[in-house]
């Protein structure tokens, strides 16, 4: 069993990086502005009042508080889990990533009323699924949450293999 502080430190690093990049976007771009970086990637400024893939974005405002509450509830649960399992490295890494990302998006919801997104990937083969082939814009918090989710899956696969 190891201490929980390194995992909370990782979550804070991810949270700070997320908020710093979002502040750069807010200071440098107007809503809808876009800068092509490669043939398949743009830096944009987008606002998401919903959750992943703009889920419930047009729900009228209540979703801001719902997703804030869900994010804060998840953060409390994750800290509790980290305290209970700090020695499980992959599991704790996953939780720390999810924690940092969730809190980054919670701060946006509380501060702005929306989540600032700025990473825009697009490929022609996605055109049948997403308008113009553009995957929904996202941010570093979303990336951290996704990395954490993949790490949780890998941790569970490892745990299942060890139990056989």
- Known catalytic residues are 117, 142
b/e sequence 60-71, b meaning 16+ C-beta within 10 Å = eeebbeebbeeb
Distances (CA, A) of 75 to 27, 33, 56, 70, 97: 28, 32, 21, 9, 11
Tokens of 106: 């919670």
Query: CA 59, CA 61: separation in Å to the nearest integer?
Result: 6
Task: Select from 131, 136, 111 the least CA-distant residue to 121.
Answer: 136
């Amino acid at each position: 069993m190891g201490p929980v502080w390194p995992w909370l430190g990782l979550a804070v690093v991810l949270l700070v990086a997320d908020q710093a990049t979002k502040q750069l976007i807010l200071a440098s771009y107007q809503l809808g502005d876009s800068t092509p970086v490669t043939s398949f990637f743009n830096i944009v400024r987008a606002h998401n009042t919903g959750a992943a893939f703009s889920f419930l974005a047009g729900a009228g405002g209540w979703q801001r508080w719902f997703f804030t509450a869900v994010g804060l509830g998840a953060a409390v649960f994750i800290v509790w889990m980290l305290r209970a399992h700090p020695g499980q490295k992959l599991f704790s890494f996953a939780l720390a990533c999810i924690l940092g990302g969730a809190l980054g998006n919670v701060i946006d919801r509380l501060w702005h009323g929306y989540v600032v997104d700025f990473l825009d990937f697009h490929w022609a083969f996605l055109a049948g699924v997403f308008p113009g082939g553009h995957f929904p814009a996202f941010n570093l918090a979303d990336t951290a949450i996704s990395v954490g989710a993949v790490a949780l899956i890998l941790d569970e696969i490892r745990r299942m293999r060890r139990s056989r």
